[in-house]
Amino acid sequence: MEEIRARRLEKRSKAAASSRARKAASPRFEFQTRSEDDLLDDGFRWRKYGQKAVKNSTHPRSYYRCAHIACNVKKQVQRLSEDTSIVVTTYEGIHNHPSEKIMETLSPLLRQIQLLSRFSPDK
Ligand SMILES: [Zn+2]
């Protein structure tokens, strides 16, 4: 539910800014989540490649890249300066592979379906 709302918000703010900046090719999505952990478990594996100090904030901004080969999705993680209990995660790009979490959930299910079809009576 939260995610859908964030997506809509992003779309609107992008339309408003498009006349000024028109170079970002990959879609960006921003999520704000109240969390103790900076790195949210989003089902993908990430590799940290940078960190930068944020003005007026004791929390740095961290940069991650998807750990999957040949995937260029990046994300930035930082705390909201007005409310540091909120983590702001910005995704840039779209994964060209399914998330590991989805595969983890699906594999036993697919195995079960295969098993069922093998014993199906109308064969
Ligand atoms: Zn990826």
Q: Give the pLDDT confidence score for residue 94 in this predicted structure.
A: 92
Give this prediction's pTM.
0.65
- pLDDT band, residue 35 (cuts 50/70/90): very high
Query: Which span out of 2-11, 34-43, 100-109 was modeled with the highest average pLDDT?
Result: 34-43
Nearest to 28 by CA among 16, 14, 38, 18: 14
Cα angle 116, 120, 121; round to 5: 155
List the chain domain ranges.
2-96
Do the beta carbons of residue 6 and residue 34 sit within 8 Å? no
Ligand 1 centroid distance, CA of 73 (Å) = 5
Ligand 1 centroid distance, CA of 25 (Å) = 17
Ligand 1 centroid distance, CA of 82 (Å) = 30
Say whether pLDDT at 21 is over 60.
Answer: no
- pLDDT band, residue 123 (cuts 50/70/90): low
Secondary structure class of 8 (helix, strand, coil): helix
Ligand 1 centroid distance, CA of 68 (Å) = 5
Q: Which CATH architecture has domain 2-96?
A: Single Sheet (2.20)
